[in-house]
């Protein structure tokens, strides 16, 4: 029991340690939204616990939380909690920005308005789960700007709608098409977003390339199948002859591992922790990196073909 007490995680505040975030609380609108200092501290520790190793020291936790966007994190949490003043402030700050971003993406007024309105509903929490309102803002962690996060949400929603309405084939089939028509569909989706953000730091592309190159063949295959080809967890599990929950855990773990490795490589290239965090807020389509080539041509493609052949063989038996 003595050893357990000595190895308490850094995310549990010792009695002698000052409250985490005390120096930042007054710089936010937390009091306006009836968020107490204790609520604010729990908010910060929740984000830290999600991204830092369990053995992180109090100093490391403090340093990590110092780089968060505190005001925007407070606003997002207050909106999720249903605070009307917070939602009014959110609309005042981001209503026009959301529409402008949607217009750059959709490039047509009515489509942009429809896209922005659909996001309002998801952000406000019109949908419920088990009687509880579900807001997409609950996924915002303050590690990047709220505006950048909203831009990514809009872009992803637009891509989802485009794929659904146009019944796009998978990216893999598009890349192999001979008519060239489908090849142009994906770059066109990325173009509007590029106009609004700065070009990604070239160090990010290099760090990402190195991290992906270090993956095993099966890991590259899982990422390519899930994120690039849009295959379901069940489909990938069937190809690899494992349970769906196994693939779900692997996808989640690979995401965490890649993020840590890329951050580490960025700091090795001279970035501060905060600069590295902000650099990773870009849309992956803006990177000067052929993700499909890295994920599949470096072994993942051969691995996929092997698994596919095995699947056909089993069906014939």
Judge if 155 and 178 occupy the same domain: yes
Domain boundary pick from 197, 219, 254: 197
- Look at the chain and report how many structural domains it folds into: 3
Where is the domain boundary, 197, 217, 235?
Answer: 197
188-to-53, 59, 144 alpha-carbon distances in Å? 39, 45, 25
Q: 39 or 133: which carries more pLDDT confidence?
A: 39
Q: Are residues 153 and 113 in the same domain?
A: yes
Asked if 178 and 275 sit in the same domain, the reply is no
Q: Is residue 74 part of a domain?
A: no
Backbone angles phi, psi at 49, to 5 degrees: -65, -30
Which pLDDT score, from 0 to 100, does residue 52 have? Answer: 87
pLDDT higher at 256 or 17: 256
Beta pairing partners, 132: 129
Is 239 within the bounds of a domain?
yes
Indicate whether 188 and 250 sit together in one domain: no
Packed helices 202-213 and 244-268: angle between N→C axes, nearest 10 degrees: 130
Pair 165, 213 in one domain: no
pLDDT digits (tens, 9 = 90+) for 47-75: 999 888 888 899 999 999 999 999 999 99
pTM equals 0.51
Residue 44 clears pLDDT 80, i.e. is over it: yes
The answer on 290 and 218 residing in a single domain is yes
- Joined together, the tokens standing for residue 95 give 């209503």
Confidence of residue 285 (pLDDT cuts 50, 70, 90): low
Judge if 230 and 304 occupy the same domain.
yes
> For 185-225, how does the pLDDT look when each residue is reduced to its tens digit (9 = 90+)?
333 333 343 334 445 667 888 888 888 888 888 888 888 88
Host domain of residue 36? 2-68
- End-to-end CA gap in the chain: 57
d(CA 215, CA 298): 10
Question: Which residues, other chains included, contact 228 with Cβ-Cβ below 8 Å and sequence gap of 6+?
Answer: 170, 171, 172, 291, 292, 295
Q: Is residue 165 part of a domain?
A: yes
pLDDT of amino acid 306 = 56
With 80 as the cut, is the pLDDT of residue 155 above it?
yes
| DSSP annotation of 138 | G
260 and 145 inside one domain: no
Residue 103 has pLDDT above 80, yes or no: yes
Q: Tell me: pLDDT of 10 over 70.
A: no
Last residue of a domain, one of 45, 68, 91: 68
Q: Are residue 179 and residue 292 in the same domain, yes or no?
A: no
Residues 58, 108: one domain?
Answer: no
State what percent of residues in the chain have pLDDT above 70: 69
Task: Summarize pLDDT for 167-185 with one digit per residue, the tens.
Answer: 444 444 444 444 444 333 3
Whether residues 38 and 90 fall in one domain? no
Do residues 316 and 205 both lie within one domain?
yes
């Amino acid at each position: 029991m003595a050893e357990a007490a000595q190895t308490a995680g850094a995310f549990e505040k010792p009695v002698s340690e000052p409250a985490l975030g005390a120096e930042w609380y007054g710089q936010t609108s937390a009091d306006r939204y009836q968020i107490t200092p204790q609520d604010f501290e729990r908010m910060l520790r929740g984000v830290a616990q999600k991204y830092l190793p369990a053995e992180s020291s109090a100093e490391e936790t403090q340093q990590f939380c110092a780089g968060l966007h505190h005001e925007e994190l407070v606003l997002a949490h207050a909106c999720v909690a249903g605070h009307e003043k917070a939602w009014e402030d959110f609309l005042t700050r981001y209503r026009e920005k959301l529409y402008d971003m949607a217009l750059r993406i959709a490039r047509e007024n009515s489509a942009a308005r429809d896209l922005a309105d659909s996001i309002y509903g998801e952000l406000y929490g019109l949908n419920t789960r088990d009687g509880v309102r579900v807001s997409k803002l609950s996924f915002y962690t303050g590690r990047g700007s709220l505006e950048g996060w909203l831009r990514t949400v809009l872009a992803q929603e637009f891509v989802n709608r485009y794929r659904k309405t146009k019944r796009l084939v998978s990216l893999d089939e598009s890349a192999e098409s001979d008519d060239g028509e489908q090849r142009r569909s994906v770059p066109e989706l990325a173009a509007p977003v590029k106009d609004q953000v700065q070009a990604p730091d070239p160090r990010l592309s290099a760090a990402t390339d190195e991290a992906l190159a270090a993956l095993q063949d099966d890991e590259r295959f899982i990422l390519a199948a899930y994120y690039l080809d849009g295959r379901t967890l069940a489909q990938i599990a069937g190809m690899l002859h494992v349970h769906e929950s196994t693939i779900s855990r692997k996808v989640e773990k690979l995401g965490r591992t890649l993020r840590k490795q890329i951050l580490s490589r960025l700091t090795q290239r001279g970035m501060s922790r905060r600069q590295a965090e902000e650099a990773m807020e870009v849309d992956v389509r803006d990177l000067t990196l052929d993700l499909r080539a890295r994920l599949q041509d470096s072994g993942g493609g051969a691995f996929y073909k092997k698994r596919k052949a095995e699947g056909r063989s089993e069906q014939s038996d």
